[in-house]
Amino acid sequence: MNISIKRGKLAELSGDLLVVSMHKNGALAGAALEADALTGHALGELITRDKFEGAFGEWLVLPTFGRVPFKKIAVCGLGEKGKFDADALRKLGGQIVKQAKDAKVKRVFLAVPGMDEMEIGAREAGQAFAEGLRLGSYRFLEYKSKKDKADVFVEDVTIVEPHKAKAAQIEKGIEAARILCDGIFFARDLVNTPSGHLTPNKLADAAQSTVTKGSRISIKIFDEAAMAKLGMQAALAIGSGSVRAPVGVHLVYRPKGKAKKKIALVGKAVTFDSGGLSLKPSDAMITMKSDMAGAATIIGLFKALPKLAPDVEVHGIFLAVENMPSGNACRPGDIVKAMNGTTIEILNTDAEGRVTLADALSYAQKLKPDAIIDVATLTYAVVIALGDDIAGLMTNNRKLSQKILNAAAESGEALWELPLHQPYAEHVKSKLADIKNTGAGRAAGAITAAFFLSHFVGETPWAHVDIAGPSFVEKETRADMPLGGTGFGIRLLARYLQGLS
Ligand code: BES
Ligand code: ZN
Ligand code: ZN
């Protein structure tokens, strides 16, 4: 999709669809007023006749029968003026793509929201809007027949903005959104690819593809033998049931100048989670190709890093494994030693993510970073606590928590902190080993999982983001979040890193 900005009067432009807007119970103003004049006031009449109120999400589409240089004109409702914020812009971007698709048009002109009037400023508004347009236009068609591929989808969006300085700001926002969305699309593709095709090796290949000339990214890949040499018994145990060998990946981005900080990002990379011998019921297994979404977020972020160019050394680490039952699989009751020497009693082979992360976090800690952030589809318990939309944040450091929550508030990704309530640390103590990979039944399952992880980060400031809910959409609730992988966390991490430099 090409998004550009144009200064000029509507009467001088032409295209397939023109979108103008109206606030709730507002009057036609600005571009909407110009559009009304273009149609000989048919637009205003229709608004009255159809009792169009301008509620957010309300749309009215008017064919022009060739009397105007646009084939169709649409008015979208922006809702109440005070409530129209960055996230509303993002949602609106998604709605516009949907409307254009329904209208079967490829070229859209937008004289939409009062982006320049918004508190966040024209640059941020432009970014949020362009994010919505792009994120809503994502499609995963790898496995679709030709017919579906022929669907008309908007290709060209032109934003009409008369003020020069504001147009320049909006343009910067559009470019920032493009960089991020390229990474997000890459992550979404990885999550949406079926596990039969996206093996641990393929996930490592995807990481490798971020290493291009001038990217300032380098990579180390560890095969099974190299992982064994590093002492990654825990991750290897989880991968042992699969015929697909585990692979370890360590990406490094080094900035041009001196790095202000060194940050390690760790992703859960279970390419399929059958539950292992503690086999999941059929229904719970259906979406488990998405259990590598954490790693996809890291890879997607690395795609964007060379252009984001933070003054931060960024390490991206994941240990890719497939969790399968077999004669060679790890058993409930097995005890393994993680890379940092901690012994783990595996009581449920479906709580596999934390066991693989034990080694990935141990590896990250050895790099002596200023902070470690892990992103993982770790527990269903976090979905019970916060639902499908909100990720859970758990951390051992107040400052880090605040930085990440701020980044999430800015990026528009819903994140809520759960407490590492110290008494619950007891729930992962094991009778036979140092710790066990289950908590106290189902109580506070997201938090006990985090306490398990805390054994592998030492004193390093560390944050754990459980994305089991928002990493994958099963029921579409907003137009900028199509079904399947979402790429949750990329925008947030990008903001966090840029805030450090
Ligand atoms: N990958 C799952 C968590 C999950 C569930 C992510 C649904 C996304 C959607 C994880 O490996 C898992 O199975 N966790 C168990 C842990 C339990 C056995 C202690 C869970 O949360 O039920
Ligand atoms: Zn599991
Ligand atoms: Zn899992």
**Of the residues 158, 180, 202, the one at which a domain ends:** 180
| Same-domain check for residues 268 and 173 | no
Nearest atom of ligand 1 to the alpha carbon of 288: 1
| DSSP track, 90-112 | HHHHHHHHHHHHHTT-SEEEE--
pLDDT (tens digit per residue) in 383-393? 999 999 999 99
Domain annotation covers residue 102: yes
Q: Closest Cα to atom 13, ligand 1: which residue?
A: 350
CATH number at residue 272: 3.40.630.10
| Same-domain check for residues 235 and 91 | no
**Cβ(350) to ligand 1 under 6 A?**
yes
Q: Which of 310, 472, 497 is CA-nearest to residue 410?
A: 497
| Same-domain check for residues 218 and 122 | no
Provide the pLDDT for residue 338.
99
The identity of residue 110, as a single letter, is: L
With beta carbons less than 8 A apart as the criterion, state whether 433 and 335 touch: yes
| Same-domain check for residues 104 and 247 | no
Alpha-helix runs per DSSP H in 309-387? 353-366, 381-386
| Same-domain check for residues 88 and 139 | yes
**Cβ(468) to ligand 1 under 6 A?**
yes
Number of domains observed in the structure of the chain: 2
Q: Is residue 178 predicted with pLDDT exceeding 80?
A: yes
Q: How far is CA 102 from CA 160, 270, 455, in A?
A: 22, 37, 52
Q: Is residue 495 predicted with pLDDT exceeding 70?
A: yes
**Cβ(438) to ligand 1 under 6 A?**
yes
Protein residues with C-beta less than 5 angstroms from the ion ligand 3? 270, 273, 291, 353
Interior CA angle at 3 toward 494 and 160, to 5°?
120
Provide the pLDDT for residue 68.
87
How far is ligand 3, taken at its centre, from the CA of residue 288, in Å?
Answer: 7
Catalytic residues: 280, 354
Domain annotation covers residue 280: yes
Dihedral of the alpha carbons of 281, 287, 292, 293, in degrees to the nearest 10: -140
Strands (E), 187-233: 217-222
| Same-domain check for residues 415 and 459 | yes
Residue 134 makes CB contacts below 8 A (sequence gap 6+) with: 1, 3, 93, 177, 178, 181, 185
DSSP for residue 429: B
Residue 195 makes CB contacts below 8 A (sequence gap 6+) with: 271, 272, 288, 289, 322
Average pLDDT score over the chain: 95
Interior CA angle at 375 toward 372 and 378, to 5°?
125
Domain annotation covers residue 486: yes
Considering only 26-30, 76-80, 307-311, which range has the smallest mean pLDDT?
Answer: 26-30
Token pair 């971007």: residue: 93
Considering only 61-65, 233-237, 275-279, which range has the smallest mean pLDDT?
Answer: 61-65
Best of 279, 374, 380, 471 for a ligand 1 pocket test (most atoms within 8 Å of beta carbon): 380
% pLDDT > 90, the chain: 88
Provide the pLDDT for residue 54.
95
pLDDT (tens digit per residue) in 89-101? 999 999 999 999 9
Note the ligand closest to the C-alpha atom of 449: 1
Provide the pLDDT for residue 41.
95
**Of the residues 180, 202, 225, the one at which a domain ends:** 180
The identity of residue 437, as a single letter, is: N
Domain annotation covers residue 320: yes
Strands (E), 425-487: 435-436, 462-466, 472-473, 484-485
**Of the residues 139, 154, 180, the one at which a domain ends:** 180
How far is ligand 2, taken at its centre, from the CA of residue 288, in Å?
Answer: 9
Provide the pLDDT for residue 149.
61
| Same-domain check for residues 336 and 426 | yes
Domain annotation covers residue 420: yes
Domain annotation covers residue 186: no
CA distance 310 to 283: 42
Kind plus residue range of the DSSP H or E element containing 146: helix 146-149
CATH number at residue 42: 3.40.220.10
501: burial class by Cβ within 10 Å (0-12, 13-18, 19+)?
middle
Provide the pLDDT for residue 120.
86
| Same-domain check for residues 433 and 470 | yes
Domain annotation covers residue 328: yes
Q: Is residue 325 predicted with pLDDT exceeding 70?
A: yes
Domain annotation covers residue 57: yes
Confidence of residue 146 (pLDDT cuts 50, 70, 90): confident
| Same-domain check for residues 76 and 147 | yes
Cβ neighbours of 148 (radius 10 Å): 10
Strand-pairing partners, residue 344, are 336, 435
Q: Closest Cα to atom 8, ligand 1: which residue?
A: 468
Note the pTM of the prediction, 2 decimals: 0.97
pLDDT (tens digit per residue) in 189-208? 999 999 999 999 999 999 99
**Cβ(153) to ligand 1 under 6 A?**
no
| Same-domain check for residues 132 and 267 | no
Mean pLDDT, range 293-321, rounded to an integer: 99
With beta carbons less than 8 A apart as the criterion, state whether 15 and 70 touch: yes
| Same-domain check for residues 280 and 151 | no
With beta carbons less than 8 A apart as the criterion, state whether 420 and 451 touch: yes
Provide the pLDDT for residue 370.
98
Provide the pLDDT for residue 116.
60
Burial 438-450 (b: 16+ CB within 10 A, else e): bbeeeebbbbbbb
pLDDT (tens digit per residue) in 447-477? 999 999 999 999 999 999 999 999 999 999 9
How far is ligand 2, taken at its centre, from the CA of residue 58, in Å?
Answer: 41
Domain that holds residue 85: 2-180
| Same-domain check for residues 269 and 214 | yes
Q: How far is CA 104 from CA 39, 99, 135, 150, in A?
A: 21, 8, 19, 11
Provide the pLDDT for residue 115.
67
